[in-house]
Amino acid sequence: MRGIWFVRHGATDWNRDHRLQGQTDIALSAEGVAQAAALAAALADCPVASIVCSDLQRAVQTAWPIARAHGIEPALTHDLREVCLGDWEGLTPDDIRERWGEAVLSAYQGDPTTNPPPGAEDRSAIEQRVSRAVAAVLEGLTDGVHLVVGHGGTLRTAVCCAIGAPPELARRMWLDNASITRVDFGGRLPRLVSLNDTSHLVLTRRASE
């Protein structure tokens, strides 16, 4: 087996409240901690060879239970941080509607690349840093599973980088909290073999119901 598995961080209180997080350094909620434990259990028998992780604490807190189970240390990088959302970080859609108007919010939701929030990170800068992070993982690719732990926005771009797809495809993907997306490198071309797998979270979902 030779692959890169992309893991989105567990849930936070801001996820629950539908607040835009961006690069604001929010910790996991109790639900997120349980999801991180479920991830570690699900990956306990996988041949995890390395873990590279965003340096924001919600990603680090997700990576460490997996890392401890395999006796390795996550490599932290700024390049995998979530997209900076400028003036909108910490706000809910209702907050944005009230301050900027429905038309501005709708334009962003329809095409965030063309209609970014005020003060947000430039799209080309996002793609450059994410592609740099993926290239570093590919350079050191060996047999086993190499985990990339991060955030919904940047991980979708990272998946596109890994399979050689245009970055625009990222807008057509969705990654849930604590999901696993698998890319296999065992053949001539990288293959996306699963997207947004959350089957390992069944017990945590039942516990919260």
Q: How far apart (Å, rounded) are the C-alpha atoms in residues 55 and 32?
A: 17
Active site residue 31: no
Number of H helices, E strands in the chain: 8, 6
In angstroms, the first-to-last Cα distance of the chain is 36
Buried-exposed string 37-50: b where 16+ CB fall within 10 A, e elsewhere: bbbbebbeebebbb
Catalytic residue among 9, 70, 146, 151: 9
Catalytic site residue from 31, 73, 78, 82: 82
- Using CA atoms, how far apart are residues 172 and 5, in angstroms rounded to an integer? 19
* Tokens, residue 26: 């929010």
- Based on the residue annotation, tell me whether 200 is a catalytic residue of this protein: no
What is the number of alpha carbons within 13 Å of residue 110 lying toward its C-beta? 7
15 CB-contact burial (10 Å; exposed 0-12 / middle 13-18 / buried 19+): buried
| Burial status of residue 30 (CB atoms within 10 A of its CB: 0-12, 13-18, 19 or more) | exposed
| Residues tagged active-site | 9, 82
